[in-house]
Amino acid sequence: MALHILILAAGEGKRMLSARPKLLHPCAGAPLIAHAVRAACGLDADSIHVVVGPDDDALRALLGDYPVEFAVQERPRGTADAVAAGCTAIAAASGNLLVLNGDCPGVLTSTLQSLVAASAGVDAMVLSVRPEERSGYGRLLRNDDGALVSIVEASDATPEHDAVPEVNGGVYCFDLEALRDALDTVGTDNIQAERYLTGVFAILAAAGATVGAMPHADANEVHGVNSRAELARAEALLRRRTLDRLMASGVTVRDPATTYVDVDVNVGADSTLHPGVILEGSTVVGAGCDILSRVRVTNSRIDDRVTILDGTIIEESIVETGATLGPYARLRPGSEIGAGAKVGNFVETKATKLGAGSKAGHLTYLGNARIGKNVNIGAGTITCNYDGVEKHETVIDDGAFIGSNTALVAPVRVGKNAYVGAGSTITEDVPDGSLALGRGRQVNKDDWADNKQPTSDSGQ
């Protein structure tokens, strides 16, 4: 039987109190909506439509890489109206329609599959959960025989309804034909004057159609995000899942409570994440790495056996095998640190390649630099890469030695195996193998201290 999917994403998200649309809020490394879309993409469906508002360009753009189409709900008049808009987009379709709220990022493909399987021969099936905290959820009402007869929204619930433990998880599977007829008759007779999708169940049950509820044990999985507090809760769930996945593949996570890893991050076996580590975006960490406390890595590639000491920040960079970084190093976008290289305390790099075995141990800025292999960069070295208008490149060839407190005024090149004396300001290229000294000469004045004149305001 054909299977079509609608993901509802056209609501206003008022409870977030945000200028940003609710479903675009980031959640564990992807926008909220992306999680439900991914879960749906795991099914072998004939079509997936995301129901959006007329001005949701950002949302459409963000889902551009997913195999989904869009249906437009002109105004957010309720979830039944959103589903009706979606049904218009698949007007010729028949078979099953899986509907899910876009705001439940935890939902798993396997759960969607089970719901579809359980819906064979049923006109309307809803996923039923029993969360401890039920506020905001529609209550599933059953008759004396235990058959589902209607769903009452939280805002319309009486104290008696409030006591009902079974609620609507926001995932449904319908027979398209039965749904279309029922949708037409859903009214707005409720406290919010909206057309509720949940109203379809009473209509179908009264008409003698088969309606049902599939119990699902894990209420957290379909926890909907309506507020900032719920966003934090959903993020914690996704984070914990990611850490469980990493631990199951041989990664040591010393303190899962303080380790923040986005859903798309991968870490190799025998790597250790110490407390307070944050791995973001598309970051990939190799095997046997040691990542110490309060390190944040964003959209970067870290190869095997890399050690990243405390407090280091890495963005959009590559770190090759066996390198050591930090403590308190900062790799800005475009940094490439070669195998076995060392980037130490308070060293900042940007658009810079540091070759294999090279070292920049302390208090250094390397920007727009191409540095070869086995180069030693002394403490306090600065590439002066910016002339106020443009950036210029510094090239340091293999085996060069840059003395401490050197300023390299770009564009400039230091040749192979060349030396630069400490405290130099280098404005001209240094030939291979030579020593460059670019500093004022020291002058010693003998017995100066004994012969100096007291100053007039010294008070003595």
Pairing of strands 324-325, 47-52: unpaired
**Residue 10 interacting partner from ligand UD1, Ca ion, none (CB closer than 5 to 8 Å by kind):** ligand UD1
The neighbour count for residue 146, using CB atoms within 10 Å, is 6
The window from 99-107, 123-131, 267-275, 347-355 that contacts Ca ion (CB under 5 A) reads 99-107
Q: Which two tokens stand for residue 59?
A: 């949302």
The window from 24-32, 95-103, 332-340, 442-450 that contacts Ca ion (CB under 5 A) reads 95-103
Closest CA to 373 of 326, 344, 422, 338: 338
Site for ligand UD1 in 191-220 (CB under 6 A): 196-198
- The letter for the amino acid at 438 is G
Q: Does 76 bind ligand UD1 (CB under 6 A)?
A: yes
Q: Does 317 bind ligand UD1 (CB under 6 A)?
A: no
**Residue 416 interacting partner from Ca ion, ligand UD1, none (CB closer than 5 to 8 Å by kind):** none
Q: Does 60 bind ligand UD1 (CB under 6 A)?
A: no
362 catalytically annotated = yes
Site for ligand UD1 in 348-387 (CB under 6 A): none
In the complex, least distance from residue 171 CB atom to ligand UD1, rounded to whole angstroms? 8
Task: Say if residues 131 and 185 touch (Cβ distance below 8 Å).
Answer: no
The window from 117-125, 130-138, 313-321, 340-348 that contacts ligand UD1 (CB under 6 A) reads 130-138
**Residue 85 interacting partner from ligand UD1, Ca ion, none (CB closer than 5 to 8 Å by kind):** none
In the complex, least distance from residue 345 CB atom to ligand UD1, rounded to whole angstroms? 47
**Residue 76 interacting partner from ligand UD1, Ca ion, none (CB closer than 5 to 8 Å by kind):** ligand UD1
Q: Which two tokens stand for residue 294?
A: 């309060």
Task: Say if residues 343 and 331 touch (Cβ distance below 8 Å).
Answer: yes
Binding residue for Ca ion, selected from 56, 81, 103, 397, defined by CB under 5 A = 103
Cα(234)–Cα(422) distance, rounded to whole angstroms?
A: 54
Binding residue for Ca ion, selected from 21, 199, 224, 338, defined by CB under 5 A = 224
Q: Does 78 bind ligand UD1 (CB under 6 A)?
A: yes
Q: Does 103 bind ligand UD1 (CB under 6 A)?
A: yes
**Residue 11 interacting partner from Ca ion, ligand UD1, none (CB closer than 5 to 8 Å by kind):** ligand UD1
**Residue 334 interacting partner from ligand UD1, Ca ion, none (CB closer than 5 to 8 Å by kind):** none
Site for ligand UD1 in 8-47 (CB under 6 A): 8-11
124 bridge partner residues: 174, 211
Binding residue for ligand UD1, selected from 138, 357, 361, 403, defined by CB under 6 A = 138
Cα(95)–Cα(229) distance, rounded to whole angstroms?
A: 38
In the complex, least distance from residue 237 CB atom to ligand UD1, rounded to whole angstroms? 14
In the complex, least distance from residue 42 CB atom to ligand UD1, rounded to whole angstroms? 19
Q: Does 262 bind Ca ion (CB under 5 A)?
A: no
In the complex, least distance from residue 15 CB atom to Ca ion, rounded to whole angstroms? 8
Nearer to ligand UD1, 162 or 244 (CB): 162
Per-residue three-class SS string for the chain? CCEEEEEECCCCCHHHCCCCCHHHCEECCEEHHHHHHHHHHCCCCCEEEEEECCCCHHHHHHCCCCCCEEEECCCCCCHHHHHHHHHHHCCCCCCEEEEEECCCCCCCHHHHHHHHHHCCCCCEEEEEECCCCCCCCCEEEECCCCCEEEEECHHHCCHHHHCCCCEEEEEEEEEHHHHHHHHHCCCCCCCCCCCCCCHHHHHHHHCCCCEEEEECCCHHHHCCCCCHHHHHHHHHHHHHHHHHHHHHCCCEECCHHHCEECCCCEECCCCEECCCCEEECCCEECCCCEECCCCEEECCEECCCCEECCCCEEECCEECCCCEECCCCEECCCCEECCCCEEEEEEEEECCEECCCCEEEEEEEEECEEECCCCEECCCCEEECECCCCECCEEECCCCEECCCCEEECCEEECCCCEECCCCEECCCECCCCEECCCCCCCCCCCHHHHCCCCCCCCC
Nearer to ligand UD1, 82 or 173 (CB): 82
Number of residues that bind ligand UD1 (CB under 6 A): 29
Q: Does 153 bind ligand UD1 (CB under 6 A)?
A: yes
In the complex, least distance from residue 302 CB atom to ligand UD1, rounded to whole angstroms? 36
Nearer to Ca ion, 81 or 103 (CB): 103
Q: Does 230 bind Ca ion (CB under 5 A)?
A: no
Q: Which of 35, 216, 274, 362 is catalytic?
A: 362
Q: Does 167 bind ligand UD1 (CB under 6 A)?
A: yes
The residues that touch Ca ion, with contacts defined as CB under 5 A, are: 103, 224, 226
The residues that touch ligand UD1, with contacts defined as CB under 6 A, are: 8-11, 51, 73, 76-79, 81-82, 101-104, 136-138, 151, 153, 167-168, 170, 196-198, 224, 226
Q: Which residues participate in catalysis according to the annotation?
A: 362
